[in-house]
Structure 1
């Protein structure tokens, strides 16, 4: 995902490049993995700003290509999510790692990530209760990998539709989509 926006504090441009996992249906874009730091440029004059935008675009292409190599398939995403878990993972970190693990057939890893979310107290947190309900349903699907992959394909397609992205046939069974 690439965002080329205007910083709130000045006229100019800010570049952010990252990844959004599409297996959580949502009508808004978000960065689930974000390139550390971001590039920003103040507007001084048209020539300087035009050159800065060109540089931002070239950098965005480099970073997107890097993410495509890094996350070449679901197995690579699952490995990344499992190995880069923060010291204090959020329920969403655990959810994404659990879904990726289930998609590559690692039911043990998926259940471990999901159980960490289910162990959280959802007192007064509607979003967490909803996530836990979703995880309970997914846990039942995990014994049938084909059904789990069908669920993921449908959710990815729905998320792409909601975000107005072009339709794609996602390969969620762990093979390379290229």
Structure 2
């Protein structure tokens, strides 16, 4: 029969152990497994002798349980030490998210109201003056022979705006030939 629960001999984390985890997490700002392993090595090197040696997964789970608790209210200095650790872990998690490039925008759904302004700003930034006042595309010959059925379906659904100045630039870029890249090793075989 398989035993359930944690292994025998494991003790709960003390407040000092939790503070050490948070201090190391603040220093390392671990994003991936390798950084958590480095944090575990440092934790086990700095821990007191009576504390249990912990693996990286145990430390990561404990840190996650600390920062996932409900946000605390009140002044930080008035909080008891057990709750100060939670507040500290939540601040560290925000720093880790920033380091990892995790950002969330809560400004509502994009309904496309600002798309025209965005396209105009991009055109201004790129220096495109080829679009006329009414947004019509200048007289250019389209190569519709090479167009696949998927783009035609998207066009019918109104997903693709052929008059977009961005699409014109993409077409120009797509038609330019790319330089041929030949490595030195290949040149030696040809001689």
- TM-score (normalizing by structure 2): 0.20
* Structure possessing the higher relative contact order (Cα contacts under 8 Å, 6 or more residues apart): 1
Structure having the higher strand fraction is: 1
